[in-house]
């Protein structure tokens, strides 16, 4: 198994544990994402998984419960990552041409970390993110050109939340991505 598949599985394990821990009465809880409930966070993650599948001639079937939906989406992505032909199929993405596994890594896998925090915050779970993931996402985020970051702020992240320069890296990452740590 390659590095990308291992990273995805580790992050998907953590996200799935958070989804499984959500009580029935918590799905409507407000998340840190404006206008999104805990259920909306999971639906967003599942929809991101679904967008990775058409370039390799696959799709997701709808599921009734957020946990089932995530488990099915996860299985589909793992199937792609385990298939060398599908994983290495090149596809056009908003950030340029790349392999399907690279696209999964840079979008779906990275989003599991941040949206795992969103779900944890919405449902009162442990909000601690993996330090390895924090360092990787921080390096990626600070490397985004300012004009592109502004575009992302309008459509994805939201306005930067001021955080002390000496705050823990997780807090600085969350603030940079428009979340109140």
Same domain, 73 and 89: yes
E strand or H helix that includes residue 145: none
Grade residue 30 by pLDDT with cuts at 50, 70 and 90: very high
pLDDT at 159: 87
Same domain, 136 and 108: no
Say how many domains are in the chain.
Answer: 2
Same domain, 96 and 178: no
pLDDT at 18: 98
Same domain, 15 and 58: yes
C-alpha closest to that of 45 among 122, 99, 135: 122
Same domain, 113 and 32: yes
Domain edge (last residue) among 105, 127, 149 = 127
Q: What is the DSSP letter of 144?
A: S
| pLDDT averaged over every residue in the chain | 94
Q: What is the pLDDT of residues 66-114, one digit of tens each?
A: 999 999 999 999 999 999 999 999 999 888 999 999 999 999 999 999 9
Q: What is the pTM of this model?
A: 0.94
Domain span holding position 59:
3-127
Same domain, 15 and 69: yes
Q: What is the pLDDT of residues 33-72, one digit of tens each?
A: 989 999 999 999 999 999 999 999 999 999 999 999 999 9
Same domain, 73 and 44: yes
Least confident of 18-22, 65-69, 114-118, 144-148: 144-148
Same domain, 112 and 143: no
Q: At a CB cut-off of 8 Å and minimum separation 6, what does 77 contact? A: 8, 12, 49, 52, 53, 104, 108
Same domain, 80 and 159: no
C-alpha closest to that of 22 among 52, 7, 5, 43: 43
Grade residue 150 by pLDDT with cuts at 50, 70 and 90: confident
C-alpha closest to that of 36 among 96, 115, 106: 115
Same domain, 85 and 98: yes
Same domain, 76 and 103: yes
E strand or H helix that includes residue 38: helix 38-51
Same domain, 110 and 169: no
CB 6 within 8 A of CB 101: no
């Amino acid at each position: 198994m390659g590095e990308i598949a291992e990273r995805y599985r580790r992050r998907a394990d953590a996200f799935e544990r958070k989804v499984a821990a959500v009580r029935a009465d918590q799905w409507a809880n407000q998340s840190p994402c404006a206008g999104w409930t805990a259920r909306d966070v999971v639906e967003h993650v599942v929809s991101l998984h679904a967008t990775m599948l058409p370039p390799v001639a696959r799709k997701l079937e709808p599921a009734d419960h957020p946990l089932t939906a995530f488990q099915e989406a996860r299985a589909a992505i793992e199937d792609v990552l385990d298939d060398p032909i599908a994983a290495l199929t090149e596809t056009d993405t908003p950030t340029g041409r790349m392999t399907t596994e690279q696209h999964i890594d840079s979008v779906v896998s990275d989003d599991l970390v941040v949206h795992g925090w969103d779900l944890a915050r919405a449902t009162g779970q442990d909000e601690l993110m993996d330090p390895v993931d924090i360092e990787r996402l921080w390096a990626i985020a600070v490397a985004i050109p300012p004009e592109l970051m502004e575009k992302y702020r309008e459509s994805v992240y939201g306005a930067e939340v001021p955080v002390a320069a000496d705050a823990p890296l997780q807090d600085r990452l969350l603030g940079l991505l428009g979340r109140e740590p």
